[in-house]
Structure 1
């Protein structure tokens, strides 16, 4: 596979195997193809992993469906027409302890839901999604600088919207907050446990465990893309 620039020149290339993702049942074992490598996974491990993913409840906040051609940013803008949702996609903040800018979430609800939205079910995209939710939640819990910066950013973007004053410099009660992951895809009736790539499920289980240890509620919801 080749990536080409506007002049038709090849700028990067990679093997076709890296484009393929599969989970195959054969001879009582599960085989996973990811990033060009095959893995044999214990059936007991797969069963335990799937139980953990199935146990993640959907959010009470139902997000509107989208289309297959709507990009993530445009979807978030449209969703924020809801007066109970504030658009924070691409509204990053910086704090002295971090060298890179941090996104609080894509959509913030008046019910204290930190909603992180991602299009498609690619492993790399989902890894970014899960990490975004974890980093933001950790900093909300532990960093007064981050809470102060988040408070200021929310003031800047909320306009006439009300109900978004619950993040202050004071420590938060994590049990009052929900880290809500929402994935837009053509689900075709599939549950997340059946559609998520194997290593994304492994990553998600780890992230959920860490967030729950901190006291956050964690949800996983589907956004149907027709």
Structure 2
């Protein structure tokens, strides 16, 4: 038969035990098995999902509109997967919805993405799918109108995890349009059925080389762990870390909280015991026998967030856990209920950048906490900012919004402004990684707009004059010199000495990114902490 151009989807199984067969790689879905033609000489089997005709859900409204049962409205999804052995490995060619017939945990999770990166022409990309590690993890897909270099897609190599990529392969590869994401590699090729084993063997050779490092080495910085076997093993280590009393475990809000509205926190089994900050010990003390802790219990237990109006929201404790586990040259991190693998070299670069960030010389008061009728409370950011401004002669800019055409909403110039042009941005430490990342982004955006937008400076001067006439001239209308300004990130709830080391990894990434962006524009950047103290008794 002549070779015909086809689009194929290929998976590669992880090494199998001698006792395992093809059927062990399939999900729990009814299938029919078909042996392959003996003339092909292929060691493999075809599995086809048993499917039935279904009437589409929208058929009912058409029946109603016409007054009769419309005939011939039938839909069917076809799924097939061809499993074969070649070059000492087992491969799966999926057709239709065939990928859903596979038990994904038994397949190499980066096979599709790495093979695509090893075969792509880095100047001929069509689309990229990204997972951005922001305040909330964000999924993004970018598509170019024509073949483009990777720089066109605006990838942030410090915060973006590459999930999938599509483009044109290098000329020597001999394939057509290719795509790769996680375990699946998709490609076009002229072929016939007898070519399947040699195709699989050839593509395996593309997976095992390291050509991608020439243009895409940054993809190794951070990757999301998806296969169930690895996740189960890491979850087991997480449970053991709790049992062993690992001090590196943190429980934080998995999303940005409105600290001016938060009264405190509590946990399952002690819901009414409200504390002003999230403390690991408060959760551990709710567990009667820590040695019996399970991952299911961590997922089932809840962190309750109490606000000043008496409303309570809740999050799974598992989703609130942050822990870093180092093994060899990799570090595994659980964050927002997901596991990530981070390259140690990348971590080293982040720490080198953090070492360049100075501790601010500005003076800030401690954060007050107190016991009110058996419930511990902590000073709100708003109250703290007002007190710091009064005690130290700073200008209070908290909630003083300035309109700008360069942002979707008005922004704060800063929370506190000192007479020597220090722009101080303030956030509670116990708000977790999401809140801290928001803090760094907020400070970065405000500084960049201040530097580049004369209309914003004009409006900011009006706001400053309303705060204090003496503050207005701290922001000139023309010729602003960035070197005259220091951007200070003040984190409430921890002292300056331990602050940088104790930041969650993804907060370190965002702080490093902000530091590099602002210092390149000439700003000085520093960080400061404010520990807690008991409020004096009246």
Aligned residues of 2:303 and 2:317 also touching (Cα < 8 A) = no
Matching of residue 104 in structure 1 with residue 104 in structure 2? no
Q: Which residue of 2 aligns with 1:146?
A: 456
Q: Which has the larger radius of gyration?
A: 2
* Aligned-pair CA distance for 1:19: 1.0
TM-score normalised to the size of structure 2? Answer: 0.38
Aligned residues of 2:428 and 2:492 also touching (Cα < 8 A) = yes
Matching of residue 166 in structure 1 with residue 467 in structure 2? no
Q: SS in structure 2 opposite 1:181?
A: strand
Matching of residue 120 in structure 1 with residue 429 in structure 2? yes
1:51 equivalent among 315, 331, 352: 352
Residues 2, 177 of structure 1: alpha-carbon distance in 2 compared, 3 angstrom cutoff:
closer
Q: SS in structure 1 opposite 2:423?
A: strand
Q: How many residues align?
A: 220
* Aligned-pair CA distance for 1:95: 2.5
Q: Which residue of 1 aligns with 2:298?
A: none
Residues 219, 153 of structure 1: alpha-carbon distance in 2 compared, 3 angstrom cutoff:
same
Question: What RMSD, in angstroms, separates the aligned Cα atoms of the two structures?
Answer: 2.4
Q: Which residue of 2 aligns with 1:136?
A: 446
Which consecutive unaligned segments of at least 5 residues does structure 2 have? 1-301, 370-377, 534-538
Aligned residues of 2:415 and 2:425 also touching (Cα < 8 A) = yes
TM-score normalised to the size of structure 1? Answer: 0.88
How do residues 179-198 of structure 1 correspond to structure 2 at under 5 angstroms? 179-187=487-495, 191-198=498-505
Q: SS in structure 1 opposite 2:476?
A: coil
The higher-RCO structure (CA 8 Å, 6+ apart) is 1
Matching of residue 211 in structure 1 with residue 486 in structure 2? no
Aligned residues of 1:50 and 1:193 also touching (Cα < 8 A) = no
CA deviation string 1:25-77 (max 9, x = no partner): 23453211111111122222222212211220011112111124111110000
Q: Which residue of 2 aligns with 1:94?
A: 403
CA deviation string 1:67-97 (max 9, x = no partner): 2411111000000114631000001111344
* Aligned-pair CA distance for 1:98: 3.3
**2: distance between equivalents of 1:190 and 1:172?**
32
Residues 202, 73 of structure 1: alpha-carbon distance in 2 compared, 3 angstrom cutoff:
same
**2: distance between equivalents of 1:5 and 1:32?**
28
Q: Which residue of 1 aligns with 2:325?
A: 24
* Aligned-pair CA distance for 1:149: 0.8
Stretch moving more, 117-126 or 214-223: 117-126
* Aligned-pair CA distance for 1:142: 0.7
**1: distance between equivalents of 2:398 and 2:314?**
31
Which consecutive unaligned segments of at least 5 residues does structure 1 have? none
* Aligned-pair CA distance for 1:168: 2.6
